[in-house]
């Protein structure tokens, strides 16, 4: 690790530097000089560093103020207090294929990325966003008394998506010890234009129409957009994996040896998909049940 030979300061008591000077000398194995009242090029560097520090501090303070205004605006809109944790769910797919659901988490300071999650959705009719939302919420809140329960759950969608959330949350939290989250759907406005969104409160279906200048709506749209981004990137990743992974690698109970035997017999996945159960079970190591399992899996893709 490198330590500087000189450190330029913009003003301090010389006597307070002794402990720091001794500590740096031990770490760096050389003397570190502290320079005060510098001129020329050093003075220009000091001025630039000071200006950057002030700008950074001001930006951080402004960001903190904006975050505070937005969360307070959100609490005002929804008439709740002390919101600590929010989650938003969104669904992404291409023509109903390779559906991915996202769950993004926010706290009072902004995105809480360590609690972001993605869910690969399966076993539904392709393109059924309602079923996808039902599944992701069921998986996320399968045991409400274990883990974190958000104060608010935002749903990217309208009344249909909200209905799924109401059913899942109502069922799963009916006997839970913890309190169920407030549900809010974020329905897109006419022409999907930002700022025309309608907020729909769960169960009461009370609607809110807010100006884009409202700090509470700004926070909600930030959360919604982040959920949308996270869902899309997850779907793209799943789509890329599907393009680069052979279907043979995904067949249950088929390890490298059996996969090699299938390739030796049929040459590739396309040829294997044309094969009957009778043809597959002729491959060494394949029983009729296993051949049927392979056939069923490939023809369900």
Pair type for strands 33-35 and 6-8: parallel
Range picked from 3-7, 47-51, 160-164, 244-248 for highest mean pLDDT: 160-164
Q: What is the pLDDT of residue 20?
A: 85
The one-character DSSP state at 120 is: E
Cα-based angle 77, 81, 84 (whole degrees, multiple of 5):
105
pLDDT by residue (tens digit) across 153-194? 999 999 999 999 999 999 999 999 999 999 999 998 776 677
Name the architecture of domain 85-243: 2-Layer Sandwich (3.30)
Number of neighbours of residue 283 by Cβ within 10 angstroms: 19
Q: What is the pLDDT of residue 270?
A: 78
Strand-pairing partners, residue 120, are 100
pLDDT-derived band at 245 (thresholds 50, 70, 90) equals low
pLDDT by residue (tens digit) across 15-33? 788 888 888 888 888 888 8
Q: Which residue has the tokens 């899309």?
A: 232
**Which of the listed CATH numbers 1.10.150.20, 3.40.980.10, 1.10.3720.10, 1.20.1250.20 matches domain 247-299?**
1.10.150.20
Q: What is the pLDDT of residue 50?
A: 87
Q: Which of 36-45, 143-152, 281-290 has the lowest mean pLDDT?
A: 36-45
Six-digit token string for 30: 């050389």
Q: What is the pLDDT of residue 268?
A: 78
pLDDT by residue (tens digit) across 51-102? 888 888 877 777 777 889 999 999 999 999 999 999 999 999 877 888 999 9
The one-character DSSP state at 189 is: -
Strand-pairing partners, residue 90, are 102
**Can you give the residue ranges of every domain in the chain?**
6-78, 85-243, 247-299
Percent share of the chain, pLDDT over 90: 52
Residue count of the chain, please give it.
Answer: 301
Which position has the higher pLDDT, 76 or 259? 76
Q: pLDDT at residue 136 above 70?
A: yes
Contact 156, 90 (CB under 8 A): yes
Six-digit token string for 262: 């299938």
C-alpha distances (whole Å) from 93 to each of 3, 44, 228 are 51, 54, 11
Which position has the higher pLDDT, 21 or 276? 276
Same fold, 85-243 and 247-299: no
Least Cα distance to 93 among 237, 210, 215 occurs for 237
Contact 7, 33 (CB under 8 A): yes
CA pair distance 222, 42, nearest whole angstrom: 43
Q: pLDDT at residue 108 above 70?
A: yes
Q: Which residue has the tokens 């000089």?
A: 33
Looking at the chain, the number of H-run helices and the number of E-run strands are: 9, 10
């Amino acid at each position: 690790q490198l330590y500087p030979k000189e450190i330029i300061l913009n003003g301090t008591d010389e006597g307070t530097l002794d402990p720091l000077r001794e500590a740096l000398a031990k770490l760096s194995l050389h003397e570190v000089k502290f320079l005060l009242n510098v001129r020329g090029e050093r003075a220009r560097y000091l001025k630039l560093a000071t200006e950057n520090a002030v700008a950074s501090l001001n930006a951080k303070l402004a960001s903190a103020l904006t975050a505070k205004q937005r969360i307070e605006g959100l609490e005002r809109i929804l008439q709740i207090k002390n919101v600590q944790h929010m989650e938003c769910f969104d669904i992404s797919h291409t023509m109903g294929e390779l559906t991915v659901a996202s769950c993004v988490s926010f706290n009072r300071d902004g995105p809480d990325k360590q609690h972001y999650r993605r869910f690969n959705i399966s076993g539904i009719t392709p393109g059924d966003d309602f079923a996808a939302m039902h599944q992701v919420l069921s998986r996320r809140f399968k045991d409400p008394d274990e883990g974190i329960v958000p104060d608010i759950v935002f749903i990217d969608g309208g009344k249909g998506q909200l209905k799924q959330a109401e059913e899942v949350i109502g069922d799963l939290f009916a006997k839970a010890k913890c309190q169920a989250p407030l549900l809010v759907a974020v329905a897109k406005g006419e022409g999907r234009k930002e700022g025309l969104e309608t907020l729909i409160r769960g169960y009461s279906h009370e609607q809110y129409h807010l100006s884009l200048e409202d700090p509470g709506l700004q926070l909600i749209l930030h959360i919604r957009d982040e959920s949308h981004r996270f869902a899309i990137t997850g779907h793209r990743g799943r789509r890329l994996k599907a393009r680069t992974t052979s279907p043979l690698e995904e067949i249950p109970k088929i390890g490298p040896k059996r996969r090699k035997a299938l390739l030796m017999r049929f040459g590739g996945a396309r040829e294997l998909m044309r094969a009957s159960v009778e043809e597959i079970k002729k491959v060494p190591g394949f029983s009729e049940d296993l051949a049927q399992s392979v056939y069923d899996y490939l023809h369900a893709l």
